[in-house]
Amino acid sequence: MPRKCQLRLALAQVNTCVGDLVGNSDLVVEWTRRAVQSGAHVVAFPEMALTGYPVEDLALRESFATASRQALDALATRLAEAGCGDIVAIVGYLDRDAAGPRNSAAVLHEGRVVARYHKHHLPNYGVFDEFRYFVPGDELPILRVHGVDVGVVICEDIWQDGGPVAALGVAGVDLVMCINASPYERNKDDVRGPLVAGRAAEARAPMAYVNLVGAQDELVFDGDSLIVGPAGELMARVPQFVEQLLVTDVDLPVGGHTTTGRVGGFDVRRIVVSAEPLARYEPLPVPPRAEPLPDAEEVWSALVTGLRDYVHKNGFKSVVLGLSGGIDSAVTAALAVDALGPHAVHGVSMPSEYSSEHSRSDAAELARRTGINFQVQAVADQVRVFVEQLGLTGLAEENIQARCRGMTLMALSNQHGHLVLATGNKTELAVGYSTIYGDAVGGFAPIKDVPKTLVWQLARWRNAEAEKRGETPPIPENSITKPPSAELRPGQVDQDSLPDYMLLDDVLDDYVEGDRGFADLIEAGFEPELVQRVLRMVDRSEYKRRQYPPGTKITFKAFGRDWRLPITNAWREHQVGS
């Protein structure tokens, strides 16, 4: 009959910053101290916690890899000096050896690095380019901690069949720690739980999964750290989008495993940190199991996180954006208020000759409801000089209005140090319904990956939330209900140029996210003319997409850097049907 051993685990779901070796080291020390205060025996930090994730081409700079290794050694020393030498700390970092850069986990104990594991499966799809950066590892250290045999794996290692988890199952292990930097995508939490459960079964041991939280450039990490038992049962789960230390006791049957050497393509080594089981102790109460957030709240939280971290991690304190009275700028402003507070948000109404009365009153009403800073800066005079001097008509005249607004925002940014937010949504970006150097101006585009129909849903959800809490709904009802218009010529509405947004978003979702082709879309029941029209717009908008500012990704295949299409592209899907 197998013996049972206790162990107190701490999972540190923290928000690191790329490149900030000093700040991230401080953070590891601080959270390890908290873990020690909670009586934990093992604490795990996310993938690349020491360097931040993703480091992109910094991984290839020898000086950065050297700095990372030095910071790791210094961290081990600091932890011991801070009275945290007893705890086993698992910390992700960038390593580099003769073979090249490694995405690694270090095990720190009593002032030393007692083991290193190099990530085996390197993701190279979607937003990931890890084949570019890292050399895969095939060594598999297993640690004995208070009699419990603990394996360590990293993120993609559990998303691919075969590999280190299977090898751990064969070699024998009592617990698997998986450290992650797994970006948020919509409904990803539906996949993560079952995936971790399946791997736990494969390892024939519980799996503790700790994920990064916070945002880095366009990526958002939702946390969602959890522990699953070998039969797939959820033992603990942390709320999404917040830093949190999950401390929980496990009471495990231990196998006294001894297999070493070559297993399933890996070199298994066993490192004894502490052989003796702990004396039986009173476990902590079982921590509450957080539920994943409902869809709209989850997306809203991702957008708020993405915006807040982009602004702060890039050293800005405030943002400025144009308020047109429309739904996109209203939702962007509401997100900014939730991310930064109303005093850090500066809204500017910039009417031109063609602006409606409601464009001004709805913008003012939004400012009143949210308490943000507000000013009116008409662009009519500037537009007139350009139009008359250059003899502009048609599209050229329409665009110069949007561009004088962009110039106004950038001038206010330069004069007062605000980051400019672009307010474009994914639908208009996809079809090219925006003005480059105009409404596309900005350092960050919070709703760049939010389709128009979802913008409306989010607005309604946020207003309803406010009502639930007895607060003023931030978004004026009129901004939600009126027909969308760019107001760049008299009486213009979006549907002069675009199909109905419900239909448009349906086609875009199938074409872009679903990778479905022309014939496939027709078969799915869309009108051929509609499909042809939409695909033509998407295929021609690639050039604009390249110059669009970064924005929070809420799905995996966002526009921009991870839908990598050539600019020059003579292949048009819609031609297949014509």
Q: Which segment (106-114, 224-232, 351-359, 380-388) binds a second copy by CB under 8 A? A: 380-388
For residues 60 and 63, what is the distance between their CA atoms, to the nearest angstrom? Answer: 9
Closest to 348 in 3D by CA, of 392, 259, 413:
413
392 belongs to the binding site for a second copy (CB under 8 A): yes
Active site residue 482: no
Residue 135 sits in the site that holds a second copy (CB under 8 A) = no
155 assigned to active site: yes
Contacts of 575 (CB under 8 A, 6+ apart): none
Nearer to a second copy, 203 or 402 (CB): 402
**Residue 433 near residue 494, CB atoms below 8 Å:** yes
Distance CA 535, CA 161 (A): 36
Is the CB of 5 or the CB of 21 nearer to a second copy?
21
Q: Is 401 exposed, middle or buried (0-12, 13-18, 19+ CB in 10 A)?
A: buried
Per CB under 8 A, the segment of 105-113, 319-327, 501-509, 547-555 that binds a second copy is 547-555
Rounded to 5 degrees, φ, ψ at 265 are: 85, 0
Radius of gyration of the chain (CA): 26
Q: Which of 5, 47, 487, 553 is catalytic?
A: 47
Rounded Cα distance between 344 and 349, Å, is 17
Site for a second copy in 444-473 (CB under 8 A): none
From residue 162 to residue 201, the character string flagging contacts with a second copy as x (rule: CB under 8 A) and all else as - is ----------------------------------------
Spot the catalytic one: 5, 84, 119, 313: 119
Q: Which range binds a second copy by CB under 8 A, 75-83, 135-143, 396-404, 467-475?
A: 396-404
What's the closest the beta carbon of residue 446 comes to a second copy, in angstroms?
15
Cα first-last separation, the chain:
71
Per-residue contact flags (x/-) with a second copy for residues 499 to 538, judged by CB under 8 A: ----------------xxxxxx------------------
Q: Which of residues 278-337 bind a second copy (CB under 8 A)?
A: 309-310, 313-314
DSSP single-letter state for residue 509: I
**Residues listed for the chain:** 578
Are the C-beta atoms of 577 and 519 separated by less than 8 Å?
yes
Question: 286 or 411: whose CB is closer to a second copy?
Answer: 411
Q: Does 242 bind a second copy (CB under 8 A)?
A: no
Of residues 419 through 448, those in contact with a second copy by CB under 8 A are 436-437, 441, 443
Does the footprint of a second copy cover residue 21 (CB under 8 A)? yes
Interatomic CA distance for residues 228 and 262, integer angstroms? 28
Using CB under 8 A as the binding rule, whether residue 382 contacts a second copy is answered as yes
Instruction: Tell me the binding residues.
Output: 125, 182, 188, 322-329, 399, 423, 428, 544
Kindly state the smallest distance separating residue 373's Cβ from a second copy, in Å: 15
Helix (H) or strand (E) holding 467: helix 452-468
17 is catalytic: no
Strand 419-420 to 266-274 pairing:
unpaired
Collapsing DSSP to helix, strand or coil, 435 comes out as coil
Cα dihedral 466, 472, 473, 476 in deg (nearest 10): 180
Binding flags for a second copy, 26-65, as an x/- string (CB under 8 A): -------------------------xx-xxxxx-xxxxx-
